[in-house]
Structure 1
Amino acid sequence: MLSSFDISIYLNRPEVADAGYLLAAVLFILGIKGMTHPRTAVRGNLLGAMGMLVAVLVTVVKLELMPIGLAGGAMAVGAAIGYVLAVRVQMTEMPQLVALFNGFGGAASLLVAGAEIAQRTSVDVKSVAEETQQLTPDFALLAAGAAGLIGAVTLTGSFIAAGKLQGIPLVDRKPPAGLQVISALLAAATVVLLVLLVLGYMWAFWALLGVAAVLGITLVQPIGGADMPVVISLLNSYSGLAAAAAGFLIDNNVLIIAGSLVGASGLILTNIMCKAMNRSLANVVFGKLEPSADGPSADEVYEGKIKATSPEEVAMLLDGVQRVAIVPGYGMAVAQCQHSVRELADELASRGVTVEYAIHPVAGRMPGHMNVLLAEADVPYDQLKTMEEMNPHFSQVDVVIVLGANDVVNPVANTDPTSPIAGMPILEVDKARTVVVIKRSLSPGFAGIPNPLFAADNCLMLFGDGKQAMVDLVAAVIES
């Protein structure tokens, strides 16, 4: 029988470690592939988690960093924290949690780079004269600098993004003037410090971390809530790039592979979302959605044109229809009324009505936010339709129910070239026979502009809390 020592020696063999890393990489790839479809998303998530478990165990054994028992205890603590977060965090807070996870990923890469720099630094402090004589570039330090730089930006930037989404007053406020100029100066400083680090000045790494941490704050702070889905996706990509750089630094293949996968997928998703908003990435990072000074006011758009309705009137409207489309927005997430939405859809479907959900790619506060909420309510996946699938058919829809969405259904994106959302692809719900909008008030979306859809002849406004409005509507439909 093999002893634990013999097993450790066997697992320490390079070919066994490489095989373990290869298995982990395959599990990562299969995990990402599984998460491309709701039906396989859970399995994909489990495969990715298994891949990370394999990678951690192989690394601990290969490098003999700590006893297996201690490593297992650390993983158990992390798993317990993850379980508590998964159970207690509400779906409305999931974007904030994802942003924090991105920040933790950046912090991990930063710590790896810092440990490597600390190991390379001599115990004896060199004099300035001795340092100036060593100008031979060490490009291995470039990977350390990249991991530290990207990791620090991701860490603080993600925390700011989470704070803005959570509505923390300290960060969710109008940024001071000149912040973008400060960001440009800080970015230039990081380049200088990175060059100094490559030339062998180890102190430059710690200065680089400080500057990069401030840069993460100044980059994300000016960005508004409407662009947060893009920012979260971009920060996710940053965390992957930082991990890949750390992998090059410590010559860890699985870290390079995993970081590259996350970095590439995050950039692809960021590009897709920018196209969905008809904005460039530079415009998201350095620009803001601001209403035009000569745009119409809310009074000009709404005065004397708003038609309020009640759940009973909407129930009568839904009696005898053939096709209904539901457009979920962030208001549905805040109200946590996705289960009531499903109840309404089931009741209509039992009467032979075709019910579909029109999903805008940037609805909510993170990619796929609405899909996740509806999946939580067991909405059949084949009822979820993309913007491209639904737009050609809205003219054939009897009733569209807009639940807490604003900018993504604002027709001025197609009609007003001076609007801040001009050219942004929208769900063209205004072409439907009747539109019912469920909102608390006529308050504007993040673009800060009025929505003429609310004053359209074919639009009815059902004012009130989203959850209570849906409960009352379901009750009225059943009674009718």
Structure 2
Amino acid sequence: MSLLSANWTALFYLIAAACFVLALKGLSSPGTARRGNLIGAGGAVLAVVTAFLSEDMDHVVPILVAIAVGCAVGVPAARRVAMTQMPQLVALFNGVGGAAAALVAGLELTLEADAGGIAAAAGAFTVLVGCVSFSGSCVTFAKLQELMTTRPVTIKGGQYLFGGSLAVAVALAVTVVVQGSDGQPEAWTLALLALVSLLVGVLFVLPVGGADVPIVISLLNAFTGLTVAASGYVLNNTLLLVAGTLVGASGTILTRLMAAAMGRSVTSILFGAFRPSTAVMAGTGPERPVRSGSADDVAILLGYARKVVIVPGYGLAVAQAQHTIRELAELLEARDIEVLYGIHPVAGRMPGHMNVLLAEANVPYEALKEMELINPELRTADVALVVGANDVVNPAAKTTPGAPIYGMPILEVDQAQQVVFLKRSMRPGFAGIENELLYDPKTTLLFGDAKDSLTKVVSAVKAL
């Protein structure tokens, strides 16, 4: 016997849904993001408790055990993950969500004696898209974690293999709907649909280059939201419909915004690798000289400048150098030097990733300038200090048709009077192509770990 009446259940679900909406609103601004997260988490807890109290459950103990196991895995993973690995964690959690929705919908259809055509259609959609989201998210995780190459992976006839696999998956989904209309879908049909859909997800993401992976993560997140919404229909759960629709809509909007910020269409991001490329991949051309310097050289350039623009990238995040870069900025500001930060939309590999890192170091939010605001400033900057970034400042995005990043708006550090790159080595960025700016006569390279290099520069500036 359930402990909550239908009216109380509906009221609590409505409150939970309102929490999800408020959470999304809070996440739209760095100042309210933390509160938004807490509101969303509170809504999720309320939804779970309401589900327990409003349903007659026959397997409470296994469910509680599953929740305990999930918490034992998820809480430490979320607390211990480094900020640099947050995109990988988002991809992994997103994939697990899609797989869970697909499993629930598939089991519900096989256990339901008379599914009905509409419920079977929703279930088939959930299994197909959920499995695509799961396997695709696993590939994005592997790319971001560098367990596999970050470059686009194409195989001969890959586009035809993808198209054929997708057609087979759709045909199997239609078969599930037909079987469900006549009574109950066959378990083997659902299992085969899941397997083919997993293949579709892998083939869908493999051709995507590393620089575009964050956009694909957002798209797969939207897919997961749609599967949750569809599974809500299968389970006759209104809150799942609302929550899934919110995730699907917000993920779609974010995908379009990110693609626009990168100056790309979603189609070119997903399938651009099948076009012939004319970009020079790193390591394929003759070795060329570069101008490297010492920490003292960089300190002199910075210490006698009037305006310095700092461009942080993934290398800064990996080295956890955000506190050191703030210390350097404060030293320069004490010398009446204007210091600004240029933030690319996907700096650090995820939108807002670099903003969070710098906020941890108490960098004033007003000093962080988005790309369209900082590019005019770069034209009057004496020094552009690039810390661990490569693709987001690579002129190939404007000059090399066929390059994986061609058409992507970049931070125009080449417009500054002097450019300083802090890099571990001449290894290319995530896109795997040469950056011609490294060989420009006005560019100085300081090799080493970003935190160690910045610490030496700080000491050198103090000694000026």
Superposed pair shares fold, TM > 0.5:
yes
* Alignment match, 1:405: 389
Identity of matched residues, %: 46
Matched, 1:255 2:253: no
Q: Give the alignment partner of residue 147 of structure 1, picking from 126, 147, 153.
A: 126
State the one-letter code of the partner of 2:83: M
Q: C-alpha offsets along residues 172-213 of structure 1, whole Å, 9 cap, x if unaligned?
A: 894543333221111001111111111126122222111111
* Alignment match, 2:252: 267
Q: C-alpha offsets along residues 85-141 of structure 1, whole Å, 9 cap, x if unaligned?
A: 12221122211111111111102211220221122148xxxxxxxxxxxxx971221
The verdict on how the C-alpha distance between 1:141 and 1:233 changes in structure 2, with shifts beyond 3 A counting, is: same
When the two structures are superposed, what TM-score results if normalisation uses the length of structure 2? 0.91
* Alignment match, 1:138: 117
Write the mapping of 1:274-289 to structure 2, written as runs, cut at 5 A.
274-288=259-273
Matched, 1:426 2:405: no
Q: In structure 1, what is the Cα distance between the partners aligned to 2:68 and 2:279?
A: 59
Does structure 2 retain, via aligned residues, the 8 Å contact 1:152–1:209? yes
Q: Give the alignment partner of residue 374 of structure 1, picking from 358, 381, 389.
A: 358
Matched, 1:212 2:201: no
Q: In structure 1, what is the Cα distance between the partners aligned to 2:313 and 2:35?
A: 27
When the two structures are superposed, what TM-score results if normalisation uses the length of structure 1? 0.88
SS in 2 for 1:38: coil
Q: In structure 1, what is the Cα distance between the partners aligned to 2:74 and 2:239?
A: 22
Q: Which moved more, 1:428-437 or 1:294-303?
A: 294-303
Q: In structure 2, what is the Cα distance between the partners aligned to 1:299 and 1:218?
A: 27
Displacement of 1:391 = 1.0
Displacement of 1:252 = 1.2
Does structure 1 retain, via aligned residues, the 8 Å contact 2:152–2:209? no
The gaps in structure 1 that reach 5 residues or longer are: 123-135
Q: Which moved more, 1:82-91 or 1:46-55?
A: 82-91
Matched, 1:189 2:181: no
Does structure 2 retain, via aligned residues, the 8 Å contact 1:330–1:404? yes
State the one-letter code of the partner of 1:337: A
Matched, 1:243 2:235: no
Q: Which moved more, 1:284-293 or 1:328-337?
A: 284-293
Q: Give the alignment partner of residue 75 of structure 2, picking from 77, 83, 98.
A: 83
Q: Give the alignment partner of residue 55 of structure 1, picking from 47, 61, 81.
A: 47
Displacement of 1:358 = 0.7
Aligned residue pairs, count: 458
Q: C-alpha offsets along residues 381-412 of structure 1, whole Å, 9 cap, x if unaligned?
A: 22211101111221222221101111211223
* Alignment match, 1:126: none
The verdict on how the C-alpha distance between 1:120 and 1:179 changes in structure 2, with shifts beyond 3 A counting, is: same
Displacement of 1:284 = 1.6
Matched, 1:452 2:436: yes
Q: Which moved more, 1:201-210 or 1:442-451?
A: 442-451
* Alignment match, 2:317: 333
Q: C-alpha offsets along residues 275-332 of structure 1, whole Å, 9 cap, x if unaligned?
A: 222222122222229884486998989835x321111111112224332211111222
Displacement of 1:48 = 0.6
Displacement of 1:49 = 0.5
Q: In structure 2, what is the Cα distance between the partners aligned to 1:426 and 1:172?
A: 19
Matched, 1:365 2:349: yes
State the one-letter code of the partner of 2:255: T
SS in 1 for 2:117: coil
State the one-letter code of the partner of 1:243: V
Matched, 1:22 2:14: yes
Displacement of 1:71 = 6.1
SS in 2 for 1:139: helix
Does structure 1 retain, via aligned residues, the 8 Å contact 2:277–2:402? yes
The verdict on how the C-alpha distance between 1:334 and 1:399 changes in structure 2, with shifts beyond 3 A counting, is: same
Matched, 1:323 2:307: yes
State the one-letter code of the partner of 2:133: T
Q: In structure 1, what is the Cα distance between the partners aligned to 2:223 and 2:263?
A: 22
Q: C-alpha offsets along residues 226-248 of structure 1, whole Å, 9 cap, x if unaligned?
A: 21111111111111111011112
State the one-letter code of the partner of 1:151: G
Displacement of 1:171 = 9.5
* Alignment match, 1:385: 369
* Alignment match, 1:166: 145
SS in 2 for 1:361: coil
Q: CA RMSD in A?
A: 2.7
Does structure 2 retain, via aligned residues, the 8 Å contact 1:233–1:367? no
Displacement of 1:163 = 1.5
Q: In structure 2, what is the Cα distance between the partners aligned to 1:76 and 1:379?
A: 38
SS in 1 for 2:12: helix
Q: Give the alignment partner of residue 425 of structure 2, picking from 441, 454, 470.
A: 441
Does structure 2 retain, via aligned residues, the 8 Å contact 1:394–1:431? yes
Does structure 1 retain, via aligned residues, the 8 Å contact 2:387–2:421? yes
Q: In structure 2, what is the Cα distance between the partners aligned to 1:303 and 1:351?
A: 36
* Alignment match, 2:102: 110
Q: In structure 2, what is the Cα distance between the partners aligned to 1:397 and 1:37?
A: 28
Q: In structure 1, what is the Cα distance between the partners aligned to 2:151 and 2:441?
A: 37
Q: In structure 2, what is the Cα distance between the partners aligned to 1:430 and 1:100?
A: 36
Q: C-alpha offsets along residues 407-446 of structure 1, whole Å, 9 cap, x if unaligned?
A: 2112233344454433321111111122111112333334
Q: Give the alignment partner of residue 24 of structure 2, picking from 17, 21, 32.
A: 32
Q: In structure 1, what is the Cα distance between the partners aligned to 2:287 and 2:399?
A: 17
Q: In structure 2, what is the Cα distance between the partners aligned to 1:296 and 1:260?
A: 41
Q: In structure 2, what is the Cα distance between the partners aligned to 1:414 and 1:278?
A: 11
